[in-house]
Structure 1
């Protein structure tokens, strides 16, 4: 016996595709322009230009009834799909080898960053969702971490836009300042790779900073940065549990409910990373998947930019920006301190 929902599934999927196509097309065009921009200025990457272009276009002409569903679709589902595909950049072997060496720096910087985000953010009277986004973005991996966490905590487009912009601002500063610090301290390429990989957030910025220091630092820095991406998983699950307790007035959390709280896209992220470790993928296919994952992040941020409430960003003021500066400084200082204590500086 065939159920009605199964019989009508193709029709419903077709109707949904028609509904979101115009808005998704707009975000794809913006992402293509942003990708072109990143070719000329690699340190920017494509995510920030996509967000900025989306905000500018949205300020001139807000998404109408025809494009709004697709813009929202890009800012939510495409964002989650991008997180899944980020797993293609990792393998179990790289996680084990690099993880053992970099884990003390990663865990210490993350703990300091999240604690400071809570304390300093609260002292600056920054709303909880904004300080969470800036905290995980600074402590883990920039836009990717913000993409993973934002649907869990129900962040608004304006909050996501401000957090991403803040993170990228201090990434740009790091690209210029970190190589100078590395040379001043006489760091080896290996040590600088560990420093940049744990203290710079966006992958493109890690590549830029390591390249400016020494070409031999580049490979290790990128792998450290990608392994650091795994911190998304425990942080996201923890936030999901906290949100569940808050929304359900402290109701008991059973094992079944806990499993249900794990976002599907994090499961997908792990599955893709595991598959990438055991299934031989031709180099060309692997590179194409990495490119697609980066492009989807740009598409999603274009959608977020288009739907951003600029007035809400203005109301946020300078405090979140100050928080981002404090956290970025603390992460860099903590990373250097741990490297010194462990004899790697």
Structure 2
């Protein structure tokens, strides 16, 4: 544990040095100003993502070498902060309520992914990563499974590009569908956690529906992310890669700790509104930077066939889970 903290310290120090060593151009200043304005004016999650996409496709991302790490840290801190707004009783109840739906949707997604791979005749390695990202937690699942599946850099890039594009679409599409379907906050939060790939887009979409929706979506999604462990471990057994380390997002543990502290240390209650606001602001910044990483070259990687396959898989899973939530939740 001490070595892990030391490695994180060195990583943070190196990241700070890279920021300081950047040649600050007018384009970089404009990029930073736009990112900070997303926080200062409290703009919505879809707009923050859209601004990032527009900026990078017109002017490029002048801080591309470091913005990826800033996204990671912003997202993780924001999710941990949200833990301070959720009680342990609510978190446990939410996890239990969504357990069977989560297990069913993960199984359905993996089976559908295999069938669509055969139907489309696409690269099996890339398709497996997309199916795992759709089934569990987007980029985190892809990163965890890639070493076990011995994925190439190109396969990882294509899978991430497809997942990120669909994440962006979910931020705009899901709230509209939720309103049209008349979903309650609880139903919408559960649907987001089941049907949207990455935690960032889950939180971004759910936050547009209300605080109850956000709490349920965050808790259910992070409980879902724990399925990385058995699924990737099973893959390692099947592929004979037992010696590969499974990468589990450590911030999930910090989120659980935050929930426990919020539940059993009443003295923290007075800080809850500030923590909640800070988490929302960091999430907005993360979504802006995620958008800034989505240039057309990345999004077009892999061709139309793999993107069509990924989209069809996502639409089926989202549709089936929406039907199940409307009728049984």
What TM-score does the superposition give when structure 1 sets the normalisation length? 0.65
> Which residue, 14, 32, 39 being the options, matches 2:36?
32
* Whole-angstrom distance in 2 between the partners of 1:207 and 1:219: 6
CA deviations on 1:40-65 (whole Å, 9 max, x unpaired) are: xx36153454245334433xxx75xx
* Whole-angstrom distance in 2 between the partners of 1:13 and 1:199: 33
Match in the other structure for 2:103: 107
* Whole-angstrom distance in 2 between the partners of 1:101 and 1:232: 12
Give the 3 Å change call, closer, same or farther, for CA 46–330 of structure 1 in structure 2: same
Q: Kindly state the Cα deviation for residue 196 of structure 1 after the two structures are TM-superposed.
A: 5.5
* Whole-angstrom distance in 2 between the partners of 1:34 and 1:157: 28
Which structure would you say has the larger Rg?
Answer: 1
* Whole-angstrom distance in 1 between the partners of 2:234 and 2:93: 32
Give the 3 Å change call, closer, same or farther, for CA 139–221 of structure 1 in structure 2: farther
> Which residue, 227, 230, 246 being the options, matches 1:261?
246
Give the 3 Å change call, closer, same or farther, for CA 20–167 of structure 1 in structure 2: same
Q: Kindly state the Cα deviation for residue 312 of structure 1 after the two structures are TM-superposed.
A: 6.8
**Unmatched runs of 5 consecutive residues or more in structure 1:** 1-5, 211-217
Q: Does 1:226 align with 2:224?
A: no
Match in the other structure for 1:250: 240
8 A Cα contact 1:158 1:309, kept in partner: no
8 A Cα contact 2:74 2:286, kept in partner: yes
Q: Kindly state the Cα deviation for residue 294 of structure 1 after the two structures are TM-superposed.
A: 0.8
Aligned counterparts, 1:1-345, within 5 A: 17-21=16-20, 22=22, 28-29=32-33, 31-32=35-36, 39=43, 42=44, 44=46, 46-58=48-60, 71-75=64-68, 77-85=69-77, 86-90=79-83, 91=86, 92-127=88-123, 131=127, 134-135=130-131, 138-140=134-136, 145-152=137-144, 153=146, 159-182=159-182, 191=187, 194-195=190-191, 198-199=194-195, 202-208=202-208, 210=209, 218-231=210-223, 233-237=225-229, 241=233, 250-253=240-243, 260-263=245-248, 266-278=249-261, 280=265, 281=268, 282-295=271-284, 297-298=286-287, 300-301=289-290, 304-305=293-294, 308=295, 310=297, 313=300, 315-337=302-324, 340=327, 342=328, 344=329
Q: Kindly state the Cα deviation for residue 223 of structure 1 after the two structures are TM-superposed.
A: 2.4
**Unmatched runs of 5 consecutive residues or more in structure 2:** 1-5, 147-152
* Whole-angstrom distance in 2 between the partners of 1:315 and 1:110: 24
Match in the other structure for 2:150: none
Q: Kindly state the Cα deviation for residue 172 of structure 1 after the two structures are TM-superposed.
A: 2.7
Count of paired positions: 295
